[in-house]
Amino acid sequence: MPRKNALLQSEGFIVFLSQRTNLLRFPGLKGKISSMHKLLSVAAILVSFLYLACGQSISQASAPTLPEPVRDTVTEVSVYDFAELEKRLYTSSDSTYIVNFWAMWCAPCVKELPYFERFLAKHAGEKTAALLVSMDFPKDIDSKLLPFLNTRKIFRSDVVLLDAPDANSWIPRVDPAWSGAIPATLIFNRDTSVFFARPFADLEDLEAAVASINQ
């Protein structure tokens, strides 16, 4: 059987080293191999460090950043009658408005509230605004509604409470086909208005609804 040899090159001459060769017979060569091992170890450490540093930089660079909200606490909620609210259901500007009817006791309403906040964060600086119209009781503003909004960090949307007991008189003025069930959302600009008598499934669903208004 052929003998297995390792090929080493040192200062212009070649030494064939069999597996049984004792490196102690070549002390100079042993020192050079030891030095080579140290250099390779240092190089490996440097490569690993650079890889980790680059990976961390890429990870940090790719992480999405959202602008800070305009406030960090909700301290008051205005109470509107329908005449006051109706003024905010139309516009002559080139902005797009999202008006959502909701209540704290409505589970589908509560589920979709973060979608409006995330939408506004994503489109900060664009001509888009959201108005959340609470259908809760005025007496619960301080004890329930404000803590609710602050706990859920509803800081980007404007929030008002609608105190209009005669619902049959104003519901058709929002949309003739609306039964009054919530959640419900009116999205409009100066040219188009579309009423959604359903909850939004996710942020993408809301994005598509707003995009349909601005086509």
pLDDT digits (tens, 9 = 90+) for 73-117: 999 999 999 999 999 999 999 999 999 999 999 999 999 999 999
pLDDT band at 23 (very low <50, low <70, confident <90, very high): very low
Tokens 């460090």 belong to residue: 49
Tokens 């707003």 belong to residue: 210
| Mean predicted confidence (pLDDT) in 183-206 | 98
Of all residues in the chain, the percent with pLDDT exceeding 70 is 67
pLDDT band at 69 (very low <50, low <70, confident <90, very high): low
Residue 43: per-residue pLDDT: 54
- Contact 192/213 with Cβ under 8 angstroms? yes
- Does the pTM of the predicted model rise above 0.85? no
Position 42 pLDDT exceeds 60: no
Domain extents for the chain?
5-62, 78-213
pLDDT band at 72 (very low <50, low <70, confident <90, very high): confident
Main-chain dihedrals φ then ψ at residue 66, nearest 5 degrees: -115, 145
- Contact 94/174 with Cβ under 8 angstroms? no
Residue 26: per-residue pLDDT: 46
For 85-95, the pLDDT digits (tens) are: 999 999 999 99
| Topology of domain 78-213, CATH | Glutaredoxin (3.40.30)
Compute how many other C-beta atoms are within 10 angstroms of the C-beta atom of residue 156. Answer: 19
Interacting residues of 73 by C-beta distance below 8 A, sequence separation 6+: 150, 155
